[in-house]
Structure 1
Amino acid sequence: MAAERIVVVGAGFAGLECVKRLEHKLRSEIDRGEIEVVVVSPHDYMLYLPLLPQVASGVITTQAVTVSLPRAVKRAHRLPGSVIGVDLERSTCVVRKISGDVVDLPYDRLVLAPGSVTRKFDIPGLDEHALGMKNLAEAAYLRDHVISQLELANASTDDAERAARCQFVVVGGGYAGTETAACLQLLTESALKRFPRLDPGLVRWTLVDIAPRLMPELGVRLGEQALDLLRRRGIEIKLETGVEEVTDEEVTLTDGTVLPTRTLVWTAGVTSSPLVKNLGVDLVRGRLKVGADLRLPSHERVFALGDCAAVPDLTQDDPEAICPPTAQHASRMATTAADNVVASLRGEALRRYKHHDLGLVVDLGGTQAVAHPLGVQLTGAVAQAVTRGYHVFALPLTRTRLRVIANWVLHLFGGDEFIRIGFLSGAKGTVEEFESADAYLSADEVRDRAQTSGTAPRR
């Protein structure tokens, strides 16, 4: 008899934790060959996304924010590739391996945790010029780009060009955008010592957001303190303002402001992976509609969690409330999803996901941060200590934690070398280039593929 196959799509916070839990709960069955767990991921690491701004600013290295899948996954089979389509009727995933080969992967249980991509809008020039901060390649590219702009400005004799290259615009006043602007502003401030021909007054950072408040999830008091802190550091904050047009030399805002710049960093939210939008099932705010047990309605063998799933928030009085797409929720949903997959295999009752938010932390670079763990509002060095302590606690694997701590210590005492490694030299490095959504199959294409191949349903 063939082993029951559990396929986990994605190896982010949700996917990796789910696989580790499945390995623990089903250890004996896996060893006996009764159960097979397959995790599909294009990379051989889990990326710790909250520390990407520190990668872009050079505080920690790219390797420090990665968790090795070969070390973390002991019994599951790793398939290097991306799931580009799912045939829910035939219980089959369509996988494009990193070699480019496309294969079918049947499943008995499916766990969808493909994560999210940068949310974009129909703004002229955005696809052609916006840089992102959603994956490791984008963070590494952004660091190179910022340093190169300072180098080119330092070498230029044209005043207008120098000013434009020293103007940096970040769109998105959430955690990602605020931390990116804050950390990279400190990078450019320190780097100016290496560029004697540049007037420090030339370097300008502008943070733009359509919302009336910065990081509204922090609350009024902490949000205002963060706003005041960033403004005192020279970062211009433009709230209730959007982007109207982007060209290779300037950004036009909805208030009429025209900013000559060569750098637009786009962090205006995230949206579900194109994979889930092509499944042909119900969505809630762009995410898969699932029950509190994380199962898809009418597909009891399919579970979804993390950024791609609209999971009911049982801690709220509002019946329409769904859990926010945070790492905190994703890692805890993973435990529930894995337990429910095991329960479904054993014919046991499934449990519902419920988690009270423990609070949020925001690193503003150096010794500056804001945080409200367990409802306690903190700022300054104390908040920074809590913020970094949280990240160390949240990182999987002891060796990863030690690597991050070592990077912090080295940067504290040694500073930054401001080395531009030439990553993807000559490429534009846009969100469109790094996060292309055209690799996924539509529901019709998946059905056509099944008819052509003549594959039978798994069950």
Structure 2
Amino acid sequence: MSGQRILVVGAGHVGLYAALRLSSKLRDAEVIVVDPQPHMTYQPFLPEAAAGNISPRHAVVPLRRELSRCRVVSGEVTRIAHHRKVAQVRPITGPALEIGYDHVIVAPGSVSRTLPIPGLREHGIGFKNIGEAIYLRNHVLERLDVAATTSDRATRARALTFVFVGGGYAGIEALAEMEDMARDALRYYPSLTADQMRWVLVEATQRVLPEVDRDMGAYTVRQLLKRGLDIRLSTRLESCVDGNVVLSDGEAFPADTIVWTAGVRPSPMLNQTDLPRDAKGRIRCAATLQVVDADGRIVEGAWSAGDCAAVPDLTAPAGELCSPSAQHAVRQARRMADNIALVVGGRAPVDYRHKHVGSVASLGLHKGVAQVYGVKLTGLPAWFMHRTYHMSRIPSLNRKIRVVVDWTLALFLRREVVSLGQLQHPKDSFAEVTPPLTDHAGAR
């Protein structure tokens, strides 16, 4: 069968890799990729981008460059009516449009799993995209400027208090990299010392890094404690109204920086589809990555994978699902693209099967933890494995070369620790010097 139209919703790990493979395997098919952003964010590099180890531009992959054989639509899918095989799209500008399809890959990814905590909406910072990573970097460096300038002790203590909520990989890496960067920056602030900074990790469970064995999580906690970080396990954030942090263990203190990394949940866009989902809002999938209903029947032409999909893990005990990791997402995307090609050609799809090989995490420059194929590494070897693995996984040779160049330059040049806070409000300075129309008319 030829002339198939395949709609890819979302251009994250799943969407990008699936579209790349489909465009090469089905040359006569039309592959349409819809995403609000013109790039794919390689999220494992967000901590390195925030810490200044690599350029933020090198942590993202331009869609139009990589998907040259696909049609890229910059917009947001607002509804999927699969019973009609039609998706409604709201482009960046202009009227909404409908896109029909023969097959749809639903992979909008996930969003931060937040809670209705007083003050979190107003004072919390997420860590899911490149904009948030750049903002956090600028914000932390600005707090150092504030602390070095003020003569008020309370203001200085508040500026130098940094709270991270969530002890998974995102939270641990973000905390460790930002503390490492701030400590490095103190050489330019002679009035500040490292013991004046307070870095707090708040984790609701009794351990960090649940993806690795407990001894590796315990090692991570010990290393962070050696660096003077305040680790609060079995503790929850109760409130942060006006930046006043209240923890479930009874302690309260002011902080200018509150970073939320406590897990993810499926994209709310899935609420606007007629596809079957499980109790956690994920799309139900068979091991072939095809969408299935509650009775296990295949929903023809619908596919999903990644964070927003409930995919059986055939290498684990019955009932277990694949974890929401980039490791699974990339492999699922390739298997799914191959299966779509098989179905289009009239053949049966193949089950996705991949045993999780392990995890790697950076704890700052030259520090890390890794557990791969049962082998456990710490310190410099783990850090080197972390970099090697993710350099091999970021899409495109272009990005691999740019990341390696960034790392190589960092061996000979000091890390850049300057804040570019004006990026957050680029029009403010121009607006301040531009008189309002009423004043101008009155002057005449």
Aligned 1:149-164 pairs, distance under 5 A? 149-164=143-158
Shift of 1:354: 0.8
Residue equivalent to 1:415:
414
Residue equivalent to 2:162:
168
Q: Which has the higher relative contact order, 1 or 2, with Cα contacts under 8 A spaced 6 or more apart?
A: 1
1:52–1:136 contact (8 Å) kept in structure 2: yes
Residue equivalent to 2:66:
72
1:329–1:355 contact (8 Å) kept in structure 2: yes
* In the alignment, structure 1 residue 424 sits paired with structure 2 residue 424: yes
SS at match of 1:218: coil
Query: How far apart, in 2, do the equivalents of 1:2 and 1:23 lie?
Result: 13
* In the alignment, structure 1 residue 249 sits paired with structure 2 residue 243: yes
Q: Which amino acid aligns with 1:242?
A: R
SS at match of 2:52: coil
Shift of 1:426: 8.8
Residue equivalent to 1:22:
22
Q: Which amino acid aligns with 1:225?
A: Y
Aligned 1:50-69 pairs, distance under 5 A? 50-69=44-63
Encode CA deviations 1:199-256: one digit per residue, 9 max, x unaligned.
Answer: 3321110111001011122101211111101110111110000010012232101111
Aligned 1:223-372 pairs, distance under 5 A? 223-280=217-274, 281-298=276-293, 299-317=299-317, 319-372=318-371
Encode CA deviations 1:147-204: one digit per residue, 9 max, x unaligned.
Answer: 1111111111111010001000000000000000000001110111222222332111
Query: How far apart, in 1, do the equivalents of 2:391 and 2:201 lie?
Result: 28
Aligned residues: 420
What value does the CA root-mean-square deviation take over the aligned residues? 1.6
Shift of 1:284: 4.1
SS at match of 1:361: strand
Residue equivalent to 2:41:
47
Shift of 1:81: 1.1
Residue equivalent to 2:382:
383
1:61–1:407 contact (8 Å) kept in structure 2: yes
1:41–1:81 contact (8 Å) kept in structure 2: yes
Shift of 1:4: 2.3
- Aligned match of 1:110 in 77, 95, 104? 104
Encode CA deviations 1:336-360: one digit per residue, 9 max, x unaligned.
Answer: 1111212222221111111011110
Closer, same or farther in 2 for the Cα pair 1:414/1:100, shift >3 Å?
farther
Residue equivalent to 2:32:
38
2:369–2:377 contact (8 Å) kept in structure 1: yes
TM-score (norm 1): 0.89
Structure 2: give runs of 5+ residues left out of the alignment: 294-298, 428-444
Query: How far apart, in 1, do the equivalents of 2:207 and 2:50 lie?
Result: 25
Query: How far apart, in 1, do the equivalents of 2:230 and 2:249 lie?
Result: 14
1:153–1:161 contact (8 Å) kept in structure 2: yes
SS at match of 1:39: strand
Q: Which amino acid aligns with 2:312?
A: P
1:284–1:310 contact (8 Å) kept in structure 2: no
Query: How far apart, in 1, do the equivalents of 2:245 and 2:423 lie?
Result: 25
Encode CA deviations 1:279-315: one digit per residue, 9 max, x unaligned.
Answer: 2432243311111111112521110111110101111
